[in-house]
Structures are given as C-alpha cells and as structure tokens.
C-alpha cells in the first residue's frame, strides 16, 4: 500500500496533468465549494511554527490533488507547512509523513449557510486588515456563479496556495471552541492579475460559521503568483 507521501505526490500529479483542461477542471470544482481544516491538524503545524520561534512569515502550502473515489476521482487539498516542504523528500520522509494533511472538499452550503449566534468580542480583530464579512461572502458567491466561465479563460491553472499561518492563528486563537476552519472557494480581484482564484477562511463553531469580523483572506494562489521551486518540493 502506498504511503502518504506517494499518495500525495500521485494526487498532485493527477491534478497537474489535467489542470489546464477546462472540462474536467470544472467538473472537479463542481464537486463542492470548500475545504475543512481541523483544529487537530492545525495544532501539528503550530508545533512546527513554535519550534522555529514563531516566525511571522510562516505559511502553509495547499496543493490541489485528485484522489480515487470509487471508479472516479475527487478533488482534495493537501496541506504541508513551509518548513517541511523546503526539505528534500527522500531524506526527510518522516517529516512529510507527519505534516502532510489531506483536507476534504465539501459542499459549501453546509458550511456557510448556518451562522453561529455565539457572542464574540469583535475587538480581537481590530488590529488586523482583513476582508469584510460581506465582501467575503460576495467573493464566494462570485465563485458559485462565474467559476465555469472563469475556468474556460485560464491557461495556467493554480497548482498550490500559499496560506499565511497568521490567518489560521487568528481564527483558531479567537475562541477555543472553534474546532474547524472552513476554506470557501472564491473569485477576487488583484490589481496585478485581475480576477483570480481565492479562498475565504472562516472559523467554525459547532458546525456553524463565526460571523462577526473574522474572515481571513491573505492567500497567494500559484500561479498567478510564482513560488520559489526550492521551497515547494511537492511540485512536479
């Protein structure tokens, strides 16, 4: 049986083989609307971050991949911390085995329709610059409405997202009751690239989104942003 590294590399390679073919890409994107990160997986990455001295520029690399689902394939996001992903895979297999996390692709309606009525302290986020709740929902609505046409216009589809760990810290540290971060697909505008693929990150409390002042949106999809290959060892 293939180990987690072999499974991950195979999944990423499957995605890269079809990522510029709009037909299958649209089909895979239509399988769901969001990825789900558990607190347990976050805590393992947090351990790496703390060992490194809590660097402010620490990030998670989220790779699209395709995994077997019966006779078909389904979309998944494989997350790994930047420290692990900078290491030679053959010489550091145990680190990859420990720190690669597969995030399932799920139906977004289950994630962002229920809203928590838990009382939250908005001041927690007052010192951060972030997207508003309204704009985050609009960006995800744009994905739902326009992704098919957007995909047809692309000739270099995303391979990996750079996700600032500070986004995850901001959400999980906001309230100990938050047990998941919901990463909802979106389309946003960036001055240098126009309309790009994106994800809106929300905290989830008992299966419901935390509504007040907390979506995070500092991701960089690559492409159109281009990573240093030496820092992304899971890229084919």
pLDDT along the chain (236 residues), means of 10: 87 97 97 94 96 96 96 96 94 96 81 47 44 86 95 96 94 86 93 92 79 76 81 86
- Note the pLDDT of residue 110: 52
The answer to whether residue 231 sits within a structural domain is no
As given in the structure block, the two tokens for residue 83 are 């420290």
Range of the domain at 82: 4-226
* CA dist., res. 143 & res. 165, Å (int): 24
The answer to whether residue 157 sits within a structural domain is yes
**Position of tokens 């229920």?**
114
Give the number of other CB atoms < 10 A from CB of residue 131: 19
CA of 55: how far to CAs of 44, 81, 153, 176, 225, in Å? 16, 12, 37, 22, 22
pTM, to two decimals: 0.90
The answer to whether residue 36 sits within a structural domain is yes
The answer to whether residue 15 sits within a structural domain is yes
* CA dist., res. 136 & res. 133, Å (int): 5
The answer to whether residue 178 sits within a structural domain is yes
The answer to whether residue 235 sits within a structural domain is no
- Note the pLDDT of residue 204: 85
- Note the pLDDT of residue 175: 78
The answer to whether residue 232 sits within a structural domain is no
* CA dist., res. 99 & res. 85, Å (int): 9
Which of 189, 190, 191, 183 shows the shortest CA–CA distance to 215?
A: 183
Query: Could you give the number of structural domains in the chain?
Result: 1
């Amino acid at each position: 049986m293939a180990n987690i590294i072999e499974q991950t590399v195979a999944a990423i390679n499957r995605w890269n083989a079809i990522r510029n073919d709009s037909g299958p890409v649209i089909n895979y994107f239509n399988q769901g609307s969001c990825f789900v990160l558990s607190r347990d997986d976050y805590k393992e990455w947090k351990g790496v971050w703390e060992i490194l001295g809590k660097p402010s520029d620490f990030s998670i690399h989220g790779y699209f991949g395709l995994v077997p689902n019966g006779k078909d394939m389904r979309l998944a996001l494989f997350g790994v911390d930047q420290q692990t992903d900078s290491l030679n895979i053959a010489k550091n297999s145990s680190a990859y085995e420990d720190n690669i996390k597969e995030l399932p692709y799920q139906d977004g309606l289950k994630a962002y329709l229920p809203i928590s009525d838990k009382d939250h302290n908005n001041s927690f986020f007052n010192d951060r610059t972030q997207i508003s709740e309204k704009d985050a929902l609009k960006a995800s609505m744009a994905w739902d409405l326009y992704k098919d046409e957007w995909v047809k216009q692309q000739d270099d589809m995303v391979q990996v997202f750079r996700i600032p760990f500070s986004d995850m810290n901001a959400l999980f540290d906001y309230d100990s009751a938050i047990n998941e971060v919901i990463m909802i697909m979106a389309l946003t505008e960036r001055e240098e690239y126009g309309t790009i693929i994106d994800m809106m990150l929300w905290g989830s409390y008992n299966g419901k989104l935390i509504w007040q002042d907390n979506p995070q949106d500092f991701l960089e999809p690559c492409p159109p942003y281009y990573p240093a290959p030496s820092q992304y060892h899971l890229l084919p």
